[in-house]
Structure 1
Amino acid sequence: MKKWLCCALLVWPLALFGGQRDTCYTGIYLKNMYDLRPEEYACTTDFWMWFDYRRKGFDPLNNVELINAKQVSFADPYYARADGRLLLASESCRAILIHDWKLKNYPFDRQALQIQLEAGLDTSRMILKGQAEGLKLYSGLGLPGWHIIGYGAKESLVHYDSDFGERRLKGHSAFSRITYEVRIQRNSWGLFFKLFIGLYISFAVAVLVFFVPPARDQRFGLSIGGLFAAVGNKYVMDSNIPATTAFSFVDQIHDLTFLFILATLVLSVVSLRMAENGKLERALKFDRRAAWVVLGLYMEMNLALIALATSG
């Protein structure tokens, strides 16, 4: 009698709490991804998601939340038997996802776009598990200006400092989450030359001062003209690319160019002083050396910044 009583006491809580938990095996088929809008911290996706589960009367479609969506709409719910043991629930989804665009290395940036599914019931009642091939991409999926470099899924438990009114949880709760991630990289080299060709021409104009005799007033006009052109290029670029609070690659290249154009002005003053003191030959040699030093340092520092940005 005592043995039966002990067994009943052990089985009863398992039946009450553990028996009601369902493990949902989850998958996503990504059909489309478009409207990548860094200025709105958003992108739009179309995908089909499904859940394989065990317990009849349990509807995972009503108990899963897409937590990183600004706006979401569901269509075509479908229920069937997955196999002899599991049931299937699936539906189509269109979602405007929130994405924090990392633009420090723009235009050599890489992004990890995420679809985050979280169980609407705590871990005592619902667990999300990824299938072996839980994320598939449509073979015709294309992102103009980008290419896909990888994708995958990650399971996690999210802990909240609240029981959301369920006092049995005693002020804390945990929910199961699956994060599907698509990693993309911008097709950057064409865009890089398009953005910076005007800036490099401005610098080249400023370097021409070293090939003008020191006594000519045009020397200073070339440097100042190059500086104004570089500043104008910066304003135009800032108005056409997404804003970022980080000291970005674009800022680094422009500030480097400003400093080197300023250096051409300073070196021009030194050369002019030499010429005015009757040391014209020395001033001409100084100009030739200064041209190679300025040009060489500028190119090396540009290549170093580009290498850092592309390695990202």
Structure 2
Amino acid sequence: MTTESRHEDTLPRSSRVTAVVLPVVLLVVIGAACALRLPAAAATAVPPGRAGPVRCELSAYVSDLYDIDPAKGRFSARLWLWTICPDKSADPLPKISYANADDPNPSEPNIIEQDGHVLDQVRVQSSFRQEWDVRNFPFDRHRIEIVLTAPQDTNHFRFAVNNADAQVNPEIRPEGWRVTGFRLVSATKHYTTTYGDHSLKDGSTYDRVRIRIDLERSSPTIFWKLTIPLYLAVLIAVSTFLISSRREELETTARLDGVYNRLGVLGGGLFVVVLNMQQANDVITSPSGLTLIDWLHLATLAFLLLAVAATVLAWSWTSRGGSPTRAEHVGHRGAWLGLAAYVVVCGTLVLLAARG
């Protein structure tokens, strides 16, 4: 009885021990597994970097500006760029993109470490693409740009422009142009693609700096070269109407010769205007509409065509019995009125272009 009683007492005690030890063993096993995984997790974890994107100060000095050609949509420039970054790895100049450059030729970088920052200087020379609006030539004003794009998206890199140190060479004298302004402007460019970076959503955005140079024409010489033939054609056309026959009546043959001569002069004027218009298009072209030069040519063509029409109508009227003297008088008055209207139209076009 005693032995059986002791045996019955030990079974419940063993169960209680098992109930206590088993959870402890499980905790130890789980803890060991976690301990084995921690080093791997620590090895793959990315150490925290800087708060926000890296920022580098950028400035520029335009030393030369040349080969300004609106007809080809190009200009050329030579400039210095420099950046001040917290460290060399953040320097954007080696990988910066010149968005509108044809074939940029940067010099070797000049890197200087100072005051805990890295200064990088580089000289760049290239021709640059530019859209031009020459509709108001020779009163057109332009803002040309050199566009720089950061090598990394805005999540990792941003420019900080320094206009206080940015300058343009005051000795720059582009042929036919005058520099009227200079400024660096911050901007961004959004692309719908992520360029393979799956961490980005809805495309990618890159920081940009626009180096803006304001220009205006310094000489109207080309304008006068292109328009003087128009004015001469109009004056010669007017003179053919002002020549008096000094006779009350002329024979039909003589009057017909006069008509032929006038039509020959007017036809020559039309040929000169059309030829001059083609030459002007080689110098001044605008994809955005008609230029002031185009409007002046069209006004001159309209004047000469009206003169041709007036000559034909006058001949038709006199050939049906109308008075040649009266036709000549009307022709004189019409020539003066036509010249006055031509001057008013051309003057208005020039004033509108000058006001921009």
Q: CA deviation at 1:128?
A: 0.7
AA partner of residue 212 (structure 2): E
Residue 314 of structure 2 is aligned to residue 283 of structure 1: no
Secondary structure of 1:168's match?
Answer: coil
Q: CA offsets, 1:164-221, max 9 Å, x none?
A: 1111112421111110111111234221111111121112111122213483333322
Residue 153 of structure 2 is aligned to residue 122 of structure 1: yes
Greater Rg by CA: 2
1:259 corresponds, among 280, 302, 313, to 302
The match for 1:3 is none
Secondary structure of 1:57's match?
Answer: helix
Would you say the 8 A contact 1:203–1:230 is kept in 2? Answer: no
Provide the aligned C-alpha RMSD in A.
Answer: 2.4
Relative to structure 1, the CA distance from residue 14 to residue 52 in structure 2 (aligned partners, 3 Å threshold; closer, same or farther) is farther
What TM-score, normalized by structure 1, do the two folds share?
0.86
The match for 1:77 is 109
Secondary structure of 1:91's match?
Answer: strand
The match for 2:206 is 175
Q: Where in structure 1 are there 5+ consecutive unaligned residues? A: 1-12
AA partner of residue 258 (structure 1): L
Would you say the 8 A contact 2:83–2:91 is kept in 1? Answer: no
* Count of aligned positions: 298
Q: CA offsets, 1:257-290, max 9 Å, x none?
A: 1111011122223333454534344323312321
Q: CA deviation at 1:47?
A: 0.6
Residue 104 of structure 2 is aligned to residue 33 of structure 1: no
Q: CA deviation at 1:226?
A: 1.7
Q: CA deviation at 1:301?
A: 0.9
Alignment of 1:1-312 (within 5 A): 16=48, 18-19=50-51, 21-81=53-113, 84=115, 86-213=117-244, 215=255, 216-217=258-259, 218-238=261-281, 240-245=282-287, 246-276=289-319, 277-312=321-356
- Cα distance in 2 for partners of 1:191, 1:311 equals 19
Would you say the 8 A contact 2:76–2:126 is kept in 1? Answer: yes
Task: Single out whichever of 169-178 and 84-93 deviates more from structure 2.
Answer: 84-93
- Cα distance in 2 for partners of 1:300, 1:188 equals 24
Which structure shows the bigger proportion of residues in strand conformation? Answer: 1
AA partner of residue 189 (structure 2): V
Relative to structure 1, the CA distance from residue 105 to residue 188 in structure 2 (aligned partners, 3 Å threshold; closer, same or farther) is farther
The match for 2:15 is none
Q: CA deviation at 1:19?
A: 3.0
- Cα distance in 2 for partners of 1:134, 1:155 equals 15
Q: Where in structure 2 are there 5+ consecutive unaligned residues? A: 1-44, 246-254
Task: Single out whichever of 109-118 and 26-35 deviates more from structure 2.
Answer: 109-118
Identity %: 24
Relative to structure 1, the CA distance from residue 258 to residue 88 in structure 2 (aligned partners, 3 Å threshold; closer, same or farther) is same
- Cα distance in 2 for partners of 1:57, 1:232 equals 60
- Cα distance in 1 for partners of 2:271, 2:88 equals 72
- Cα distance in 2 for partners of 1:236, 1:162 equals 45
What TM-score, normalized by structure 2, do the two folds share?
0.76
AA partner of residue 238 (structure 2): V
Secondary structure of 1:157's match?
Answer: strand
